[in-house]
Amino acid sequence: MSKKAIKPSLKNPFDPPEKVEFTIPGEIAGVSGGYEEAMKEGYDLIQRPIKSVSVAQIEKQHFKKRMTVWERIRVLTDKEPNILFQNWGKNLDGASLVTGILNIKGRDVALYGHDFTVRAGSMDATNGQKLARLFQMAGEKGMPLIGMNDSAGAYVPAGVGGLDGYAEAFTALRKISGVVPSIMCMFGFNAGGGSYLPRQGSFVIQPNDTFFGLTGPGVVKSVLGEDITPEELGGPQVHGKSGVADLTVEDEVSALRTAISLLSYLPDNNSVMAPFQETSDPLDRKTWEINTLLKKTFNSPTGFNTPFDVSLMIQQICDHGDYFEMQPDRARNVITAFGRLGGNVVGFVANNSAVDSGQIDCDAAYKIARFNRFCNIYNIPLIFMEDTTGFLPGREQESRGIVQAGRAMLDSIVDIRTPRILLIIRNAFGGAYASYNNYPTGADLVLALPTTRLAVMGPAGKEFVYKDELRKLRGSIAERVKRGIQERLDAGLRDDVAKKDAEKEAADWLKAAEAELNLRYEKELMNPKEALSLGSISSIVMPTDLRKVLGENLNFFLRHYKPGPMQSVQREFY
């Protein structure tokens, strides 16, 4: 057995040796000259960014369970990529960055990807110019953008050139933000500018075993003396919960395929609608499953206070039950998702009572605001599904700025110009209702299920509505206890036993009386009747007709909507 180490090779030993000849088929062989030499040099230049990298560098990537930039491109499309600015850089090797145009399912998509096998994908002034030109072209031609980020940051030997390169790329990407959507995939270890640049994009997808952040663990150790792993500092678990990463996935292939799936819900630019997709799912399909869900939920022992997962309703409304949830690891008390209804892409914003009763906290408010603004910019209609008892109160939320977060959500709703519908499922109380896409804030249509409980306050509202009755009830407790004690003393009970028993009987009586007032409050005020009489609700819809009613109204509004870039005043805040 040979003890000689086998050097890894990416070449197939059974392939015939590559031989490129620059002759015309059928041409009689002649003496070659300067022309053939020029052709050979040109061919070598075309191949240099791909073939000049050593096998050892490629093996390093594979050892880290990462693909090369060229392998990643092959996952995105089976078409030949149109590579732009291919031989830029001092060594004519592409300068560690690949830029080009891909055809993904018939759509032109601008693409950039760091080539980690060349200078660890680092950035210099040349790369900044390449990115700026690509971003400018994407904006001018109205093409969506996909970024594959795998960079060690600025190229240190390039000095300030690397920083200028990042600054030029930052500026160019910001200028097309809101003109074309962008999807950023995070691969490898990215810090500093390598994290700022992709977060300027519309959406960020991060696989496991990757890092991106302001600084790496080494800097944190030297500055703060804190030992921390890359995963704890800037891994997908961290960024998925904070919303810095919109989607977290298992690996690189999942990230790229998720990007393709997300792209199918997005328009090419802000002047057109998202792609329409023919569906065999009838628009008038009865949604019996929603009826079953609500029946089992509200007929349970806890009645109308029983939580349920609203994503099951979204699934039943969408074509073939298919929808694409955004930021699923963050603020699960609200769900934001893209779906299709009758072939049209629609955004869903739904309170999820299965988590914290669907109350709106800081994270949920910002999650809603970000999603609303994206849909508003890119001509995507919205369906709001309301079931919340209000904004989450308490010291923690106030200290985190719930007033500011709630205002950001409200502003994003008021500013919406695309068609929008509100469906009230159950609870719609107080300020949460007032700031959640009703008629006064600009809704095109407000619908409600028969289970709607629309009121200024929840059950606690009885304290104000039946104030006099409650005062009399509570005021009579002392007399009731006194009378009860005397009755028990007359019956021969000891003083302490008589007092304890009488107090318990009075407390039970008061509890039953207040429960009766709760039921009365729910029947008289926590229902859709007053809102219907005032026109706050357009009409009641049955759970089995939700897909049909929402779909038909959405089609009507879209027939009268003209897509285009936003022309109104751009508001000051997020």
Give 334: exposed, middle or buried? Use CB within 10 Å, 0-12, 13-18, 19+: buried
Burial tier of 493 (Cβ tally within 10 Å: 0-12, 13-18, 19+): middle
Q: What is the four-CA torsion angle of 406, 411, 413, 418, rounded to 10 degrees?
A: -160
432 carries an active-site annotation: yes
Nearest residue to 200 via CA among 179, 217, 219: 179
Check the CA dihedral 226-204-155-56 and report its sign.
positive
The three-state secondary structure class of 390 is: coil
The two structure tokens encoding residue 198: 């992709």
Q: CA 262 to CA 454: how far, in whole Å?
A: 35
Question: Is 192 annotated in the active site?
Answer: yes
Residue 237 CB neighbours (<10 A): 15
Catalytic residue among 172, 365, 432, 531: 432
Q: Which amino acid, residue 405?
A: A
Residues in the chain: 574
* Among 321, 431, 442, 564, the one annotated catalytic: 431
Q: Residue 552 CB: number of other CB atoms within 10 A? A: 14
CA distance 335 to 198: 24
Instruction: Return d(Cα 374, Cα 502) in angstroms, integer.
Output: 62
Q: Are 352 and 358 in contact (CB under 8 A)?
A: yes
CA separation for the pair 474, 462 (Å, rounded): 14
Residue that the structure tokens 């950039």 belong to: 112
**From the candidates 153, 193, 234, 347, which is the catalytic residue?**
193
DSSP string, 135-184: HHHHHHHT--EEEEE----B-GGGTHHHHHHHHHHHHHHHHHTTTS-EEE
Query: Is 259 noted as a catalytic residue in this protein?
Result: no
Q: Is 106 considered catalytic here?
A: no
H or E segment to which residue 466 belongs: none
Query: In a 3-state reduction of DSSP, which class is residue 100?
Result: strand
Write the CB contacts of 6 (distance below 8 Å, at least 6 apart in sequence). none
- Structure-token match 């600009």, residue found: 442
Q: Nearest 5 degrees, angle CA 335-CA 549-CA 367? A: 15
Query: At CA 318, angle to CA 405 and CA 77, rounded to 5?
Result: 90
- Cβ atoms of 99 and 83 within 8 Å: the answer is yes
Query: Residue 440: how many CB atoms within 10 A of its CB?
Result: 10
- From the list 105, 142, 103, 181, the residue with the least C-alpha distance to 380 is 181
Helices (H), 142-287: 160-176, 193-199, 217-224, 230-234, 236-242, 252-263
Plot region of 432 (φ>0 → left; ψ -120 to 50 → alpha; else → beta)? alpha
**Candidates 89, 94, 139, 192; catalytic one:** 192
Q: Are 188 and 116 within 8 A, CB to CB?
A: yes
- Residues annotated as part of the active site: 192-193, 431-432
